[in-house]
Amino acid sequence: MKKSWVLSQESFDALLDWLAPTREQAGLRYENIRLRLIRIFASRGCYDSEDLADETINRVATKVPDIREGYSGDPALFFYAVANHVYQEYRRKRVPVPPPVLLANSVELEKQFQCLEKCLELLTTENRELVVEYYRNEKKAKIDHRKLLAGRLGIAPNALRIRACRIRASLSDCVEKCLAQNMG
């Protein structure tokens, strides 16, 4: 379902121009639509609701040049229509989420934490700080914190999410290797 297309600054600007006449209004409108999309996907049981919301926004941004002149009505409704298509694709291609590994005792849990700490130390200072900051907080506080983090780094929220996912994937691989070495 994921597309290889990435939202460029030019496409993002065109999207904002379509949403509202002023940049401030457009920014607020964009954030409200994105939060609503996340809630819609989450209420439908999608564990990766943020990714699905971003995919929806990317798809709408690709259509803006074609629909801008002829579209009448609330642009948010167009987002929600595209979100329905994204959700249908998600349902068709959804891979079941593996259940979390239940640890038998605190010794196993301690080994995991030790491996995680070891792997965090192997990251660059910049990547370590980014991943720790990215996964801080919960719910609305988490979303707000991620916006601030993206602004502080001077990158788009989508780019921040991708960077954090890559770091997390490398950490996960490192922890798995560490645990395998400790068992063998």
User: For the domain that residue 154 is a member of, what is the CATH number?
Assistant: 1.10.10
The model's pTM is: 0.51
The boundaries of the domain holding residue 54 are: 9-93
Total domains, the chain: 2
Determine, yes or no, domain membership for 2. no
Side chain identity, residue 180: A
pLDDT at 4 (0 to 100): 53
pLDDT at 39 (0 to 100): 93
CA distances from 173 to 104, 118, 142, 179, 184 (A): 21, 12, 25, 10, 17
For residue 16, what are the contacts with CB-CB under 8 A and spacing of at least 6?
A: 23, 26, 27, 30
Determine, yes or no, domain membership for 149. yes
* Residue 58 three-state SS: helix
Nearest to 14 by CA among 75, 72, 55, 100: 75
Give the mean model confidence (pLDDT) for residues 33-54: 91
Phi, psi of 20, deg, nearest 5: -160, 160
